[in-house]
Amino acid sequence: MLRIITWNIQWGLGIDGRVDLARQIAEARNIADFDVLCLQEVSDNFGNLKGNDGGNQFAALAALLPGFTAVEGVALDIPDGAGGRRRFGNMILSRRPVSQVLRYTLPWEAAPTRNMPRLLLEATVETGSGPLRVMTTHLEYSSGALRRAQVEGIREAHRTAHARARTLREDGPGTYVRFPAASAAVLTGDFNMRPEDPTKRRISESFEDGAPALVDAWEALNGAKAHPYSFCIYEQVNGPPHCCDFMFVTEDLRPRLRRITYDQECQASDHQPVLLELDL
């Protein structure tokens, strides 16, 4: 069994206004003895975010999970005005061995709305059934046009990964060393759109080259039953409660799906954590 949790942690900020990364890790562990934890909104040196002390949360989260491989996915990297850097993005922490790690900068089209760079972070995790690509992302909040472009970037990253998995690349020394490739993948994250959004539906469309489609795991297990709310349950400053956090699996993994659950009781972030269980 492989257990994956995805969670937009809002830099550790809970509904009570307190930033506490240790609390969030404890909450995740209460949900499941997870193998992989995918996080969005991890910060470093952003003391100007509500409740944040400006610490390096990438390092702090790694320290809270000894024995896990900690993979950073920095989407935003800017100067702090004092000779340092401020960083913001995603993270994957895996108890299973991790081989290849890739970071895809998603398309950043011009838009008049408030927006920032976005990233798709991918870690190939070793499982008993072979390598599995685990991807996590956080798409733009304020622009549908940007989200559409970013979804195309995700689809292209998945298509090229499938093509690499079908091609026996020449091995080599040093930087040319070859690691196992995989078409099978899990895509997680905060997509900042609702289940019925056509852009969200675009993620699951087929590929002309035969790459396996990315299937919404909730829909695969629950059919037309509505997704549970994952955002704005305890704070409605961003609208009424709705779902914008999803887990996708490649269609070849559909028979291995066992469970997906949305924890709607947790108040350690403005988003709710989501658990996926796979037979692997």
Q: What is the mean pLDDT of residues 183-198?
A: 98
Contact partners, residue 18, CB within 8 Å, separation at least 6: 51
Q: What is the mean pLDDT of residues 73-78?
A: 98
Look over the chain and give the mean of its residue pLDDT values, rounded to a whole number. Answer: 96
* Locus of tokens 């954590």: 273
SS3 content of the chain, % helix, strand, coil (to 5): 25, 35, 45
pLDDT at 264: 98
The residue count for the chain: 280
pLDDT > 90: percent of the chain: 94
Domain boundaries, the chain: 2-168+177-278
Handedness of CA 9, 43, 194, 207 (dihedral sign): negative
pLDDT at 239: 83
How does DSSP classify residue 191?
-
pLDDT at 59: 98
The identity of residue 87, as a single letter, is: R
Q: The domain 2-168+177-278: what is its CATH number?
A: 3.60.10.10
Q: Does 28 have pLDDT greater than 90?
A: yes
* Locus of tokens 């070793």: 126
Tens digit of pLDDT for each residue in 212-228? 999 999 999 999 999 99
Supply the angle between the helices 57-64 and 21-31 in degrees, to the nearest 10.
Answer: 40
Q: Does 39 have pLDDT greater than 80?
A: yes
Please state, as a whole number, how many other Cβ atoms lie within 10 Å of the Cβ of residue 166. 11
272 to 26, 243, 263: CA distances (angstroms): 14, 9, 6
Q: What is the mean pLDDT of residues 124-129?
A: 95
Confidence label for 169 from pLDDT (cuts 50, 70 and 90): confident
Q: What is the pTM of this model?
A: 0.97
